[in-house]
Amino acid sequence: MQLVLNYKNMFTGIVAKISKVEKVFWKKGSLFVVVKKPTEWKISLGDSISINGVCSTIRKVSKNNFEVEYMPETVNKTTVESFQKGILLNLEKSLRVSDLMDGHIVQGHIDNIGKVLEVKNSKESKIVKIQIPKKLIKFIAPKGSIAIDGTSLTVIDVGINWFTVSLVSYTIENTNMQNYKKDTKVNIETDVIAKYLYNFYKTEYAKKK
């Protein structure tokens, strides 16, 4: 007998599938999104899934679709309000004990919305420059990890309120990043380890003052 455990709020940032929005509607102050279900995926009510980096709980499942619900706080802090019928979404199931950690630890807790400033071709890859609030820069380091729309990427360079990443052809073809252009809004989740370290040192420094 094989024991398989799910970490319901943990992902790797390795996008498993791209799918499309089928329907979006509001009801009693919440945003509901219906997504086309990958044909080979087995998912159940209550499962956690990363949708463009947002940890989402499946509330309805049919043969071809599944439905999730977003509360006002999630709507305000992520790009889910811009979801429209037909747009591409990055999907990843929650991490299991038996899964390989190919990316980095991603919680599905979005820190803020970023904006694409520039997309430049570089041989077979693309360099993407993204603007973010200055308060997040302290969690981002060159060669460090970051999740953009749920995709685990390595940071190239960091500025006062921006950073750059490189997208190889495989990432472009297998994520929604194929549609990135100037002013595209994206979900940003910084490295959770960087956040814990920052909080630890901030706490320790405060004790010594």
pLDDT tens column, 40-52: 899 999 999 999 9
Question: CB-based contacts of 171: which residues, under 8 Å, 6+ apart?
Answer: 151, 153, 177
Reported as a single tens digit per residue, the pLDDT across 155-177 is 999 999 999 999 999 999 999 99
**Considering only 19-23, 53-57, 194-198, which range has the smallest mean pLDDT?**
194-198
Predicted confidence (pLDDT) at residue 3 exceeds the cutoff of 80: no
Confidence category of residue 209, pLDDT binned at 50, 70, 90: low
> In the structure encoding, which two tokens stand for residue 83, read together?
């979801």
Instruction: State if pTM tops 0.85.
Output: yes
Q: Class for domain 112-199, per CATH? A: mainly beta
Topology alike, domains 17-93 and 112-199: yes
Give percent of the chain with pLDDT exceeding 70: 90
pLDDT at res. 6: 43
pLDDT on residue 4: 40
For residue 10, what pLDDT is reported?
85
User: In the prediction, which pLDDT does 122 show?
Assistant: 87
User: Which one-letter amino acid corresponds to residue 146?
Assistant: I
17-93: which CATH topology?
Answer: Elongation Factor Tu (Ef-tu); domain 3 (2.40.30)
Q: Which single residue is written with the structure tokens 């071809």?
A: 64
20-49 b/e (C-beta count within 10 Å ≥ 16 → b):
ebbebeeeeeebbbbbbbeeeeeeeeebbb
pLDDT of 95 strictly over 80? no
Q: Break the chain into its structural domains and give their ranges.
A: 17-93, 112-199
- Can you read off the two tokens belonging to residue 166? 């490189």
